[in-house]
Amino acid sequence: MRGYLPDYTFESANSLKKALSFCEAGAKPFAGGTDLMVLFEAGLLAPGKYLDISRLKELKGIKNSKTQVTLGALTTYSQIRNHLILTKQFPILGLASREVGALAIQNRGTIGGNIANASPAADFPPGLLVYDAKIQLISTKGIRTLDYNRFHLGYKKTELRQDELVLSVSLKPEFQKYHHFWRKVGNRRAQAISKTMMAGIAKTTKKTIQDIRIAFGSVGPTAARCYHVESFLKGKAINTQNIQEAKQLLSKDIHPIDDIRSTGKYRLRVSQNVLEEFLCGIG
């Protein structure tokens, strides 16, 4: 059952100043609309005021400097997938972009929308967590910057205030010598919501792990860094015994539930297998 159009008011902003004033007045922003339209068609979109921010030039573009790469909130999946610097320095983001829906979704969906929608199954959060991303939020009061690992508070809950927009995401190019890994598991290889997904990066010396960062999505109310597993593996050799112990420790970091797509038991088992795949690949 579709939503009833008279229940909604849609505005469009052609300047950031105007958009922020609409947000202060209670309008809910959207850009690509890929999640919004699904909810509308299902009759689940809450009535109210909505604001199209897709034309805001201040939220567009990928900027590169010696110290960081900055992605405007309106950067699309396709732009990330095709950006040479991003695919070289932060390949997980490009790999994730390739598995978000169909090409039409990749051309419209944005990194800002993927983050702000706060779905536990969103494709970008695990990669942003392992890359130690920062997120910039803007309102009429100014810009504030948060470590990305502080942004998601719970299921569909974030640090984003009603009067704020996601301005950009920034990353430091510190991981060129790391092994990068991305794995998404769903009912099929394409156009599927994940049952579990994992992003991982690791730096090794003579088969000993010097640094490692692991994050999973779709296994809790938010994407989660696996600090217990990381702490255990740092300084350890990559061998069968340590890999098996790391797999057992994973249950301390992720807490998958049963839902319509899968069972918690299945998600945990598959996540352990994906973790093993990652660790075997860096040996």
Q: Are residues 158 and 193 in the same domain?
A: no
pLDDT above 90: residue 46 = no
Q: Are residues 195 and 154 in the same domain?
A: no
Distance in angstroms (rounded) separating the CA atoms of residues 138 and 17? 10
Residue entry with tokens 């109210």: 48
pLDDT above 90: residue 38 = no
- Residues 99-113, mean pLDDT to the nearest whole number: 84
CATH number at residue 83: 3.30.465.10
pLDDT given for residue 237 in this prediction: 95
Q: Are residues 72 and 167 in the same domain?
A: yes
pLDDT above 80: residue 243 = yes
CATH number at residue 213: 3.30.390.50
pLDDT tens per residue, range 164-212? 999 999 999 999 999 999 999 977 666 667 789 999 999 999 889 999 9
Alpha-helical (H) ranges within the chain are 16-24, 34-41, 77-81, 84-89, 91-98, 103-108, 111-116, 125-130, 227-233, 240-249, 264-282
* Percent of the chain's residues with pLDDT above 70: 98
- Residues 49-71, mean pLDDT to the nearest whole number: 94
Instruction: Domain count for the chain, please give it.
Output: 3
Q: Are residues 67 and 105 in the same domain?
A: yes
Q: Are residues 217 and 271 in the same domain?
A: yes
Q: Are residues 46 and 61 in the same domain?
A: no
With residues binned 3-state (H G I as helix, E B as strand, rest as coil), the percentages for the chain, rounded to 5, are 35, 25, 35
Q: Are residues 120 and 149 in the same domain?
A: yes
pLDDT above 80: residue 230 = yes
For 202, the domain range is 179-282
pLDDT given for residue 40 in this prediction: 81
Residue that finishes a domain, picked among 131, 146, 171: 171
**Which tokens hold the place of 36?**
């919004």
Residue that finishes a domain, picked among 123, 154, 171: 171
The pTM for the full model equals 0.94
pLDDT given for residue 257 in this prediction: 85
